[in-house]
Amino acid sequence: MFKGWFKKTDFAQLLKDGAVIIDVRSPQEYSQGAIPGSENIPVGSIPSRTKQIKSLEVPIICVCASGMRSGSAKAQLKAAGVEAYNGGPWTKMIPYVD
């Protein structure tokens, strides 16, 4: 019944194609462990940084601790016309990063 409704995102391919990982946790959380090469932009700062993020012209993968804040950031970016994805918890994205 729901077949085809949920498309699995190929994060490995997105990263190969130049996607950027934005970690939307607080700076304190980020300093305690993060994906190498990711950018820390707390979810509350997304609105003021959207223009800058959009100018990157690459897909954006948002991550956080559980997937809630990254889901919110993804929605905000998509509404601004950015190709954005919810990567969920940052620890689950580690296997996709070289």
**CATH code of the domain in which 49 resides:** 3.40.250.10
What whole-number distance in Å separates Cα of residue 46 and Cα of residue 84? 12
Please indicate, yes or no, if residue 66 is contained in any of the structural domains: yes
pLDDT of residue 98: 67
Domain that holds residue 23: 11-96
Residue 98's Cβ-count burial label (10 Å; 0-12, 13-18, 19+) is exposed
Please indicate, yes or no, if residue 27 is contained in any of the structural domains: yes
Please indicate, yes or no, if residue 6 is contained in any of the structural domains: no
pLDDT in tens, the chain (98 residues): 555 566 789 999 999 999 999 999 999 999 999 999 999 999 999 999 999 999 999 999 999 999 999 999 999 999 999 999 999 999 999 999 86
The answer to whether 17 touches 10, Cβ cutoff 8 Å, is no
Is the pTM value of this prediction over 0.75?
Answer: yes
pLDDT of residue 6: 64
Please indicate, yes or no, if residue 81 is contained in any of the structural domains: yes
What whole-number distance in Å separates Cα of residue 3 and Cα of residue 7? 9
pLDDT of residue 2: 54
Please indicate, yes or no, if residue 41 is contained in any of the structural domains: yes
What whole-number distance in Å separates Cα of residue 16 and Cα of residue 45? 27
pLDDT of residue 82: 98
Q: How many domains does the chain have?
A: 1
pLDDT of residue 7: 74
Taking Cα atoms as reference points, which of 91, 82, 90 lies closest to residue 19?
82
Please indicate, yes or no, if residue 5 is contained in any of the structural domains: no
Please indicate, yes or no, if residue 4 is contained in any of the structural domains: no
pLDDT of residue 13: 95
pLDDT of residue 35: 97
